[in-house]
Structure 1
Amino acid sequence: MDRDAVKSARRAFEILELFDRERRPLALKDILEALGYPASSGSALLKSLVALGYLDYDRDRRTYFPTMRISALGAWVPDALFGDGALLGAMERLRAVTGETVILATQSDLFAQYVHLLHSAEPLQFSVPPGARRPLAASGLGWCLLSAKSDEEIERLRRRINAEPGQAQPLSREALMGRVNEVRTRGYAVSKHTVSQGAGVIGAPLPRGAHGRVFALGVAGPVGRLEAKEALIIGELRAALERLRPSQAEAHRHDREGLPA
């Protein structure tokens, strides 16, 4: 793999994410300082993004700003992910009733990736942005996602994880399947201090959605608060799953028949 191409792709997305955070026109100096890029390569990349139509350059003010092409690129994603809005509604209800952060995750290679978050009004020890990734085999929502797979698929993933250069300690089949089977039996996972000390997640796998995508829905917060609300959270997760089943079934029908969601 061409490392320079990978670096350029990563930097292009970092620039777009910077605009998402700042939400204002930015000068070359602002971008280089915020991201720590060398002047020559940073300037060249920005010129490329302008030429491709993803950024606009204001010559009078010498600032860059995203074009509507960026918005158009992802305009279809919410419908593909959330369909008729039932899932977003379920997430809103979970946050309102539990008072905690609600997370929707899906698999991204060897990770569980947070694709949508509704943050709690209550303070969290750690701010988690959309797009954050957690180890698939060592996180609550990761165990939920794995529970929808066959044992053979899980074993292949376990071997890949153990072959990763940064894997300090081999992950045993018994330990992983113990976690996965617990989710299959109970219908939900409880994770405490697993990724971040003091933080936890109570989550459940969702019914398989359109295009075969598997998602997990979780409630995250400080362990003490989750323990105090555990029965409430589990009850609300189960109710959310029941409400979502008809919506997911309809998404499946549209997917099979090639109809718009």
Structure 2
Amino acid sequence: MEKNLVKSAARAIQVLEFFDTVRRASPVAEVADHFGWPHSSTSALMRSLVSLGYLHFDAGARTYIPSMRVALLGDWLHGPMLSHGKLSQLLEQLNHATGETVVLAAQNGLHSQYLRVLQGTNTLRMHLQIGTLRPLLSSGTGRMLLTQMDDGTIRKLTRKFNLASDAAHPVNAEELLRQVAEDRERGYAVSMNQVTPHATLIAMLLPTRPTEKPLAIGIAGLTDRLIANERKYVRTMQEAINALFE
């Protein structure tokens, strides 16, 4: 976790992300144990979220669950996409059709960050976490987000990344531009063994309005299986996106 984060603010968000992952009511002890936090401070934090209207407390079961206030937060940002649960429906459809882990990502500085994760159901699968940061310039979702930028912006991001990075081999801007052009032309990106060994991710952009922040979805899994199913998964993603967002 970043050192400059305010701990209480970070933990409040992590609690909400925990519920987004488990999708059920949970007691304080489960949340505390999941993060390795003291039970007393976790209980105080969750009571505060109840007072603010972001959690509901069931006194009989002694469990907490997010309130409708959480569900309504940010619905103005991507109104058409979120209406009638379209985005959730898309992610669940891809998860069910492939058995692979499915992610939703957006740019966060020099990273692509996972906003939502649906864990795979295959016996051997990728396990990813909400909030995970991946390099914007080399990850599959990151490269798809770059396809919405002009060459000048990508060069600036590359210079900024190379200045901030201690990597032995800096990113070559011209090679990156060629890769982004290929991704843009074919409509999807494949990140193979880039961030996690033996793991691959296939990413596509979601249709957004000019005023909306670009979003990418990705199907992640073991490299051998994803490469063998690349055409099938790409077709599944394209058909699902077209059906929901025409």
Does the 8 A contact of 1:98 with 1:232 survive in 2? no
More moved, 8-17 vs 172-181? 8-17
Give the direction of change, closer, same or farther, for the CA distance of 1:121–1:56 in structure 2 (3 Å limit): closer
What TM-score comes out, normalization by structure 1 length? 0.71
Amino acid aligned to 2:108: S
**Do structure 1's residue 231 and structure 2's residue 239 form an aligned pair?**
no
CA distance in 1, matches of 2:28, 2:52: 18
CA distance in 2, matches of 1:77, 1:234: 29
Does the 8 A contact of 1:143 with 1:183 survive in 2? yes
1:149 corresponds to: 149
2:199 corresponds to: 199
**Do structure 1's residue 25 and structure 2's residue 27 form an aligned pair?**
yes
**3-state SS of the aligned residue for 2:72?**
coil
Does the 8 A contact of 2:126 with 2:220 survive in 1? no
Amino acid aligned to 1:223: T
5 Å-filtered alignment, 1:1-261, equals 6-17=6-17, 23-26=25-28, 35=35, 65=64, 68=67, 71-77=68-74, 80=79, 81-164=81-164, 167=167, 169-209=169-209, 211-246=211-246
Task: Give me the CA root mean square deviation.
Answer: 3.7
Amino acid aligned to 1:115: L
User: 1:41, CA displacement in angstroms?
Assistant: 7.8
What TM-score comes out, normalization by structure 2 length? 0.75
Give the direction of change, closer, same or farther, for the CA distance of 1:11–1:236 in structure 2 (3 Å limit): closer
User: 1:187, CA displacement in angstroms?
Assistant: 1.4
Query: How many equivalent pairs are there?
Result: 239
Does the 8 A contact of 1:111 with 1:133 survive in 2? yes
Larger helix fraction of residues:
1
More moved, 213-222 vs 36-45? 36-45
1:155-195 C-alpha deviation (Å, 9 max, x unpaired): 22222222325555422202321221110122111111111
User: 1:116, CA displacement in angstroms?
Assistant: 2.7
**3-state SS of the aligned residue for 2:202?**
strand
Structure 2: stretches of 5+ with no match in the other structure = none
Structure 1 or 2, whichever has the larger Rg, is 1
